[in-house]
Structures are given as C-alpha cells and as structure tokens.
Amino acid sequence: MIYFDTSATTPLLPEVRDRMIELMNRSVAGELGNPSSLHTPGSRAKFELIRAREQVAQLIEARPLELIFTSGGSESNNTVVRTFENCPIFVSAIEHPSVLAPAEAFGKPCIKIPVDKQGIINLGFFKTNLEKLVKENPKQKILVSVQLANNEVGTIEPVKEIANIIKNIKQETKAKIYLHTDATQAVGKIPVSAKDLGVDYLTFTSHKLGGPVGIAALYVKTGAPMKPLIFGGAQENKRRAGTSNVLLASGFGVACEIAKDAIENYGKVKNVRDYLINEIKNKIETTIIITPQKSLPNVLNVSFPAAEGESTQLYLDLENIAVSTGSACASGDLEPSHVIMAMYHDAEIAHGSVRFSLGLNTSKQDIDELMTKLPNIVAKIQDLSTLNKETQNANK
C-alpha cells in the first residue's frame, strides 16, 4: 500500500512501539501501577508520566505543568470552547469540526471569520468585529480560535498577527480576550512555539506524529481560564479527571522527541510534494490546485472537475493507494467540504477535491507509481460524468 493520508493518521513509529511494549512488560511484571498511588509501582508510573509530559512540552516550548493530557484533539478543543460557554467565540470559517461544532452550539454568538481562496482569514473583518464586541461589552470574556494549519488544504494561518491584534486591543481596553489555536496538523511539520505564537491555548495530538491513537495534549497558558470537561478525580492538576494512561503518554513522549529532531527533514518532503504538484499539473490538465503556497510542506489538495473525489479515492484504493477526500458523507447525503466551500463557494470544486498528505518516507518513486494510475482514473470518472450529463439532457 502506498500511503498518502498522513494528515488523517501516521503509522506508529517503531521506537514508539518498542517503548510501549517495554512498559507493558513492566506492567505485566507488576512494576508499574496507578500513577496516583503512593506505593513503589505507583511512583514508578508517576515518574514515566512526568518524563512523558516533559518530552511533549519540549516540542512546543512550553512548561510541563502547562500541559494537560487528554484523549484526543477533539476533547482538547471541546475543553477550550466549553470554558467559554455563552461567551462570544470567533472561529475561522474553515476550522476543524471539533472546534466549529461546539463553537456553534455554545458560543453566544459564534462569529465565523471568512477566508480568501488561499484559505487565509480576513484580518480586517476579525479586527473590526472584535473591536465592536469589546466596545459593546468591555467586561465580556471572548475566545478566538483559529487553527495554525488547516487539515484539508494545509493553509498556514497568521496566528501571530491575530495574537498581536488581540494584544493591542487588550492594552487599550483591558478586555478579556483569549486565543486558542488547533495546531494538530502543524506540530511536527513546522516549528511551533506556544510562547512565540502568543496563544493562551494550543492543541496537538499523538497519532499525527507517529505516536499512539487515544492521547493528545492541551496547552493552557498559566493564568488562562480553564473549566474541566471531565470532573472526578484530581488528575492532571485537577483539570481533567480519569486515571492517567501512562502507556499512551510514554508513546506520545517518544514520538515528540523524534518529531523535534525530524522537523528539518520536512524540507525534503516539500520537494516530493512539489514534484507531485508538477506531475499532476502536467498530466491532468483540468486540475485545480487548491493548496496555497503558504502551506504545510506535506499537504496537497487538488480538485478534478467532473470527477467525484470519493470515486477517485475508491479507484485508487483498488490500486493499493490510500488518499483522502475533501468531501464527507453525512446522513446518507453527499456534503461538500465546508473548507473548500468557504474558499471557493463552488460545490463542483469541493466535490472533486482529493487530499494527498505525505510522510517522511514518501518518495518520488511513490509519486511515479501514483501517476501511472491517477490520470487514467480521473479521465474514466470524468468520461462517465459527461456521459451521465448527456443522458440526463437527452431525457429532458
């Protein structure tokens, strides 16, 4: 299988697997207990948890105590949004559903910041509407949540500029404005520093880095408000109840250590991605390149007009090539990607979108193999689509 879907999840790294097996063997032997327990097995487990938290924190240049381990990016994002329930919440129009859905449900109001065809948010719209809200109610808490890099098209958002706008407004008005960024796709692909970005909250997850599924991190800047989503025990410094998963945390920690050293290698990934762009443009003339220049180095989203993305995906899967699509099936209806609709306002472009997300091991040979199949598949689907349209017109 040639795997072009690392934005969905990455293969487990061998070093992560080995570390987790080591801890499982120690657990079987009774050496590791509940990290909240005071006995020796509990203390050993607590030591492993502390070490993992330090490894994860180093990747985003944060302090370990500012990190909360959660079950995934969705829980982290929901925790931040629910902290600001019944408050105004700004989100980009292309946010991940785990931010967008709770913001729409609990924001009063939820204000969507429009984007251009590059997927970049309209900073003028944001600044004007934020100033207006602050003027109307200067004591109201406000959350701004804009992802650092988009999961479908790879667009990198100007989060530092957003932080500066917020900083200036706060200096003038003493408003209570807080900034969250979902950095799930960005961490490990580009340098990410929570302090340098100027954010109050930051989300990222293990399985996008070659770590295990089922654990993520939420950075909460010291002094930022935070309401637990899960109540019960005193774990995670009373911010997230539930027995700490030492096994997953340790795997996450190893993945973060490796990711920290591997970021520079994404320059090579970008070269392979750019090679793919040129191959597709040269061999499939109707292609619309959706991913902008200012994007993650490993993501390419394209649209093949008159060729449904799901059909392209399924045909490629039959050829042992895994890709993703910009569309989603919801409740039996084919819904176009909200991301691409916000960028292009064109359902045909959205329905024809396909995402290729590359990893450190993706080679030009993989691209060459893909291109022996992809042009014929797209042409076949487009021919069928044209035939269907002609039949429909003839029956009118």
Is residue 329 flagged as an active site residue? Answer: yes
Q: What pLDDT does residue 388 have?
A: 56
Lowest mean pLDDT among 83-92, 317-326, 352-361, 382-391: 382-391
Taking only the tens place, the pLDDT of each residue in 163-199 is 999 999 999 999 999 999 999 999 999 999 999 999 9
Taking only the tens place, the pLDDT of each residue in 252-310 is 999 999 999 999 999 999 999 999 999 999 999 999 999 999 999 999 999 999 999 99
Residue 390 has pLDDT above 60, yes or no: no
Please, which pLDDT band fits residue 331 given cuts at 50, 70 and 90? very low
CATH class of the domain whose range is 14-261: alpha beta
Burial group, residue 85, by CB count within 10 angstroms (0-12, 13-18, 19+): middle
Rounded to 10°, the helix 123-136/159-173 angle is 20
Say whether 14-261 and 2-8+264-388 share the same fold. Answer: no
Q: Which of 255, 248, 257, 259 is nearest to 70 (CA)?
A: 248
CATH class of the domain whose range is 2-8+264-388: alpha beta
Mean pLDDT of the region 28-32:
92
For residues 210 and 206, give the distance between their C-alpha atoms in angstroms, rounded to a whole number: 7
Mean pLDDT of the region 196-223:
98
Q: Which residues contact 230 (CB under 8 A, 6 or more apart)?
A: 240, 241, 242
Q: What pLDDT does residue 385 have?
A: 81
Percent above pLDDT 70 for the chain: 95
User: Are residues 249 and 52 in contact, defined by beta-carbon separation less than 8 angstroms?
Assistant: yes
Structure tokens at 266: 């994404």
What are the strands, taking DSSP E only, across 263-327? Answer: 288-289, 299-303, 321-322, 324-325
Structure tokens at 43: 């203390």
Residue 335 has pLDDT above 90, yes or no: no
User: Are residues 323 and 281 in contact, defined by beta-carbon separation less than 8 angstroms?
Assistant: no
Taking only the tens place, the pLDDT of each residue in 78-120 is 999 999 999 999 999 999 999 999 999 999 999 999 999 999 9
Please, which pLDDT band fits residue 69 given cuts at 50, 70 and 90? very high
Each domain of the chain, given as residue ranges in start order, spans 2-8+264-388, 14-261
Residue 37 has pLDDT above 80, yes or no: yes
Please report which helix (H) or strand (E) contains residue 59, including its range.
helix 40-59
For residues 108 and 288, give the distance between their C-alpha atoms in angstroms, rounded to a whole number: 37
For residues 231 and 319, give the distance between their C-alpha atoms in angstroms, rounded to a whole number: 47
Percent above pLDDT 90 for the chain: 93
> What rounded mean pLDDT belongs to the chain?
94
Residue 19 has pLDDT above 70, yes or no: yes
Q: What pLDDT does residue 395 have?
A: 46
User: Are residues 208 and 185 in contact, defined by beta-carbon separation less than 8 angstroms?
Assistant: yes
